[in-house]
Chain A
Amino acid sequence: MTQTAPHATGAFVEDPDAPEYSAYGGDWSDIADEAARLAQQRIVVNMGPQHPSTHGVLRVMLEIEGETVTETRAGIGYLHTGIEKNMEFRTWTQGVTFCTRMDYVASMSQEAVYCMGIEKLLGITDDVPERANILRVLMLELTRIGSHLVAVGTGGNEMGATTVMTTAFVAREDTFRVIEMISGLRTNNAYIRPGGVAQDAPEDAVALIRKVIPQIRQKLDELADLQLENPIFKGRLKGVANLDLAGCMALGITGPILRSAGLPYDVRKADPYFGYETYDFQVPTSTDADAYSRVVLRLEECYESLKIVEQCADRLEQTAGQPVMVADKKIAWPAQLSVGSDGQGNSLDHIRHIMGESMESLIHHFKLVTEGFKVPAGQVYSAIEGPKGLLGVHLVSDGGTKPWRAHFRDPGFNNLQALSILTEGGQVADVVVAIATIDMVLGGVDR
């Protein structure tokens, strides 16, 4: 294997005669022994892109001596699907269905920040009805719980603790039951729309929320009991993948990693949106700055999110029957969805109205759905606290019905830059812990 073209990561192997080892599972020590037998000091290991611990398709290039990592480089782009480019060819509303597929473990976060940006461009931020914002907060917090459970669960699984993963996924399924009942879909919901949400919560949604809260809390307790005092777990995570506050600030790290270094920065508190200032919740922090403290923080944040979900349930009861979309019919999606015998679709009442009763309604429906609405020219930046950190969006409008530019600052993309500093000088086995503690999702990283 000779490479003459310039390479993103620099050619590790300049010597064409250098031996290559391919490993698909098995013990690392066997390979190390083989290398030692051949008197190789410096080994370059290519981990991924198809590796179960990489949360998608991440390629990690490791230079190691014995068991010690001396250099780490992350190669990304394997899941790049051009979502931002595609959004420039769809209406502002259709964009929701694209950006929800970026970080697919936390779909609602992208929808929320994107709609927040559109509303700022339109100047209708204050016109979004209260009930829509309650539903958004509910969805965002359920998503946060789900995302943290995946982070903790898969992190446990990668260290060989399958029970941690199954327990976490059972609890995550409970969040999906609520999300599915309200939005119709488990993930990739396209539920949060410019001006509000796609549809109101059904009547029995509050009852289901109240039913799943104790179930999720019990699973969280179980996860804490399983892990936090486990000597193997502590041995693998305590003092591993350290990143102090100075390192976090230099690398622009946000989310649980930044809070594990002691800075209580949370956009929900610093720059509240969707009425977060009216909810009672805490921002847990730690000063240990290691992988263990981040697992603790993620679990603690789940408990705080459950507190918010409880408050959302109360408020949903109080606001029953109120609108969930702005009153402006030039922006509001014309129909509420309903579930019929053939699945989810436009409500039959609405179809009857536009097809049989009102030509004007039909025209309005057609124009809004096919053409979309125009957004005044300008640019905005909006940011929310996603489960993984600060999630920002830069939107530019040319006054048309489609974004001129939509750029997402995925927290995983930014935080993955810390992989080198988290792993260099450590053990090979801790690379997996470091990837799990960053908790990026490659769909969001690559977009």
Chain B
Amino acid sequence: MSDSQDLTGTGAPQGGPQPGEREQITLINVREGMFGAQGDTSGYDLLVKPVEMPGASERPYGEWFDGVVDVLEELLGDDAAAAIQHVVVDRGELTLHIAREHLPAVAQHLRDDQDLRFEMCLGVSGVHYPADQGRELHAVYPMQSITHNRRLRLEVAVSESDAHIPSITSIYPMNNWHERETWDFFGIVFDGHPSLARIEMPDDWVGHPQRKDYPLGGIPVEYKGAEIPSPDNRRQYR
């Protein structure tokens, strides 16, 4: 059972090739044990299995993806290799891993070039991967082109100790609140944001609640004489 796909048991088509074929980019999680539950008596408790995001793709990417990457590389010129770290095609979706210092330039080209024309950035979704050393915090920007009816994803990874990403609100003003939300929940600092204040949590809140090391909270509840622990303390499948 070394192949992560085998454990799914869903009969779904193989989402990505076997490990080793594609260059791995993101370590999502390190799963322990065989059955998800801690303390099982089967002897498989010591099984440690890293779970990787589908890795980098090779050309041709298929569909319209090659054209967009070509145009972007041409516009970026000498910076292209440094800016676009990886290209991933998975489940029919294109993900561009961008080095954070090049994010504003990439966003500017995506918005302005007539062959790209991604008019809208649909926000920024933070993701916390504590096991991904040095790249713990990811900011994911879904981009929507209305002109060409396309959608792609920019992904920027930074470390927890240096969680800074340039703001793209000057290019996509719509991202103002979304960046505030991701700062609030994940503690990613968007440099250059006009007013990077908390938006959902109170102003004096301590910590960033959507990080994986931040507890869910909750209290045990008594039901018909039995005590049920709070959701994050229950014995449960992972």
A residues near B (Cβ < 8 Å) are 5-10, 76-77, 80, 82, 84-86, 88-90, 120-124, 249-254, 263, 265, 270-271, 328, 330-331, 370-381, 383, 390, 392, 394, 396, 398-402, 404-405, 407, 409, 413-414, 416-417, 446-447
Contacts and interface: CB of A to CB of B under 8 A. Distances in A.
Interface in B3-38: 4-5, 7-13, 15-16, 28-29, 31, 36
B234 to A, nearest CB: 9
Task: Give the interface size class of chain B.
Answer: 35 or more
Given A8-B197, A328-B11, A380 B177 contact: no
19 contacts: A5-B203, A77-B198, A89-B216, A89-B231, A123-B13, A250-B173, A252-B121, A271-B151, A330-B11, A370-B237, A374-B9, A381-B122, A381-B153, A383-B151, A401-B36, A401-B237, A407-B126, A413-B181, A446-B200
Contacts of A76: 199-200
A414 B121 CA distance: 11
B237 A90 contact: no
Interface stretch (B48-56, B61-69, B73-81, B102-110): B48-56
B5 to A, nearest CB: 6
Contacts of B142: 381, 392, 394, 409
Given A378-B90, A381-B153, A400-B36, A249 B120 contact: yes
B232 interface: yes
Nearest to A120: B91
Interface of B: 4-5, 7-13, 15-16, 28-29, 31, 36, 51-54, 90-93, 95, 119-123, 125-128, 140, 142, 144, 146, 149, 151, 153, 172-178, 181, 195, 197-204, 209-210, 216, 231-232, 237-238
Given A399-B31, A446-B200, A371 B10 contact: no
B10 A390 contact: no
Contact of B127 (A400, A405, A416): A405
- Say what secondary structure dominates the interface of chain A: loop
A434 B189 CA distance: 32
A80 B8 CA distance: 33
B122 A399 contact: no
Given A379-B95, A413-B177, 9 more contacts: A82-B216, A120-B91, A250-B173, A254-B120, A270-B149, A330-B10, A374-B8, A377-B51, A405-B128
Given A328-B10, A376-B5, A398-B51, A85 B210 contact: yes
